[in-house]
Amino acid sequence: MAHGMEFSTIRLIGLSLAVLSQGYLFIRIRRAIKSMSGPGLFKSGAVVLVGVTILLLFAVNRYIMFHQITWAHPPIAAQLFLFYLPAVWSFGSIVSALALFIFEFAGGLGRAIFRIFRSTGRKELSPVNPARRHFLQVGLGGLAAAPFVLCGYGAVYTRKAFEVRELALSFGHSLRVVQLTDIHAGIYMTREEIGQLTDRVIALQPDLFVLTGDYISNSMEFLPGCLEEMARVRAPYGTFAALGNHEHWYGELSRIQAVFSQCRIPLLVNAHQVVHSGQGAFAVAGIDDLRAGHPDLEAALHGLDSHVPVLLLSHRPEVFPRAAAHGIRLTLAGHYHGGQVKLSLPSGDISPAHLVTPYPEGLYRLNASCLYVSCGIGTTFTPVRFNVPPEITLINLSV
């Protein structure tokens, strides 16, 4: 797959699929309603109701995706009907429509082959009996419903099932580092949930706590609460942070820096800080977002002794080859959420992240340098996670 595909292209493809899937599902549902027995007026009303419902669900989800929603504490009913139901419908409808289209295409192909065989005089092929047709219709209904069930599960359960991923790497210092990334505080990641996440981090007793961007989803209103929770972590060697693209999209740098300063979390924007331990000195460096910001790796490393091990924080992982060329021991990144929705096949994993980057998730090595890309905590565009649980990363560094 081409790793060079722009995210804007992926988003356009996704939007196109979403629009087409709404129309296709409406046609299929309309066809099913018209084939039922009953008064014509009732069936016409049912078709109109279905069309209006689909339009509303799709429109509400698109509004939420592209507008700043600052409702910090919505009641459960609002969360369910205004936020989660439209999101599950919009994402599930794409998968459902694709599954039904493939099934319909395969069925049409099968019927064409059947007609060809029948026209050649072969008698061994018999028409489908009513019982078998009913069985296929029931199976088709299950096929259409399954994506919505899976998406609902991914939105309600999987996105909250935080998983601690632990790995061991050589760094030149013995350190217990915890990384969080892509929290995306907002309507799908409340302060209460962030507080529970923070409690998990505190229980891991990190020596160093690092944050690699995208603290908010689509509104600056959620940044103070998010960082106040992060500030509860008291690591002996401190907490350090880098910016992500969402901070640039929805905030101003001066205001963002002010919030970090109020919460006493050092924000490294093309800068570094040397940390002294009983084993000597090491440095934590951070660069601005590679696309939305103004990254400058050379500025971030300026003045550092080449013998001091460096841990680099970068929201996006594509800086890795340059970081390795500078001899940086370890780069920590996120941004891609591991694809957020991933299929694991014998031939390899498939997800949106695998289409746009050679570093979708996990550990990568280049000479003596390592890159770790976390799957992150929150979600974006849809609250659904499938086969990519939210991740708290624990890295045990050794000499």
From first to last of its 399 residues, the chain has per-residue pLDDT tens of 334 445 566 667 778 888 999 999 999 899 889 888 888 889 899 999 999 999 999 999 888 887 888 887 888 888 888 889 998 888 888 888 888 888 778 777 777 776 777 676 555 555 555 655 555 555 556 666 776 777 777 777 777 788 999 999 999 899 999 999 999 999 999 999 999 999 999 999 999 999 999 999 989 999 999 999 999 999 999 999 999 999 999 999 999 999 999 999 999 999 999 999 888 999 999 999 999 999 999 999 999 998 999 999 999 999 999 999 999 999 999 999 999 999 888 888 888 898 889 999 999 999 999 999 999 999 988 898 999 999 999 999 998
Residues 86 and 182 grouped into a single domain: no
pLDDT tens digits for range 35-78: 888 888 898 999 999 999 999 999 998 888 878 888 878 888 88
Same structural domain, 210 and 125: no
Q: Please tell me whether residues 146 and 186 are part of one structural domain.
A: no
With respect to residue 131, please indicate whether it lies within any of the assigned structural domains.
yes
Residues 186 and 314 both lie in one domain: yes
Is 352 a domain residue? yes
**What residues make up the domain containing 216?**
163-398
- Distance CA(267)–CA(213), nearest Å, equals 10
CA-based angle 353:266:297, to the nearest 5? 55
Task: Name which of 287, 289, 269, 385 is nearest 338 in CA terms.
Answer: 385
Does 361 map to a domain?
Answer: yes
- Of the candidates 255, 257, 225, 254, the one whose C-alpha atom is nearest the C-alpha of residue 241 is 257
What is the rounded CA–CA span in Å between residue 280 and residue 126? 82
Domain final residue, candidates 121, 156, 191: 156
Q: How many CB atoms lie within 10 A of CB 84?
A: 20
Answer yes or no: do 319 and 357 share one domain: yes
Provide the pLDDT for residue 137.
Answer: 56
Q: Has residue 394 been placed in a domain?
A: yes
Nearest C-alpha neighbor of 271 from the set 241, 246, 308: 241
If one counts every other C-beta atom within 10 angstroms of the C-beta of residue 287, the result is 30
Measure the CA angle with vertex 327, ends 310 and 307; round to 5°: 60
286 located within any domain: yes
The reply to whether 79 and 218 lie within a common domain is: no
Residue 150 and residue 211 in one domain = no
| Domains contained in the chain, number | 2
How far apart CA 287 and CA 293 sit, in angstroms, is 9
Q: Report pLDDT for 12.
A: 76
Report d(CA 118, CA 107) in Å as an integer. 16
- What is the pLDDT, as a whole number, of residue 181? 98
Among 125, 140, 156, give the residue marking a domain's end: 156
Question: What pLDDT was estimated at residue 120?
Answer: 66
Residue 1 within a domain: no
What's the CA dihedral at 168, 171, 173, 176 to 10 degrees? Answer: -40
Determine how β-strand 271-277 pairs with β-strand 280-286.
antiparallel
Burial of 228 (C-beta count, 10 Å sphere; 0-12/13-18/19+): middle
- Would you say residue 2 lies in a domain? no
The CA radius of gyration of the chain, in Å to the nearest whole number, is 25
CB 391 within 8 A of CB 163: yes
In contact, 300 and 285? CB cutoff 8 Å: yes
131 & 46 share domain? yes
According to DSSP, the residues that pair with 276 across neighbouring strands are: 281
Q: Is residue 203 part of a domain?
A: yes
For 328-337, the pLDDT digits (tens) are 999 999 999 9
Torsion angle in degrees (nearest 10) through CA of 306, 308, 309, 311:
-90
> Which of 89, 121, 156 is the endpoint of a domain?
156
- Beta bridge partner(s), residue 275: 282
305 and 226 part of one domain: yes
User: Does 180 lie in the same domain as 145?
Assistant: no
Q: What pLDDT was estimated at residue 349?
A: 86
Instruction: Let me know whether 147 and 228 are in one domain.
Output: no
Q: 22: which residues sit within 8 A by CB, 6+ positions away?
A: 54, 55, 58, 93
* Predicted pLDDT at 130: 60
- Which domain CATH number covers 379? 3.60.21.10
* Cβ atoms of residues 224 and 203 within 8 Å: no
At 3 the pLDDT is 42
Same domain, yes or no, for 29 and 91? yes
Q: How far is residue 184 from each of residues 75, 225, 318, measured CA to CA in Å?
A: 20, 12, 21
Q: Which residues pair with 170 in a beta bridge?
A: 398
Say if CB 306 and CB 327 are below 8 A apart.
yes
Helices (H), the chain: 7-34, 40-66, 76-78, 85-119, 130-156, 191-203, 223-230, 245-250, 253-262, 297-301, 320-325, 352-356
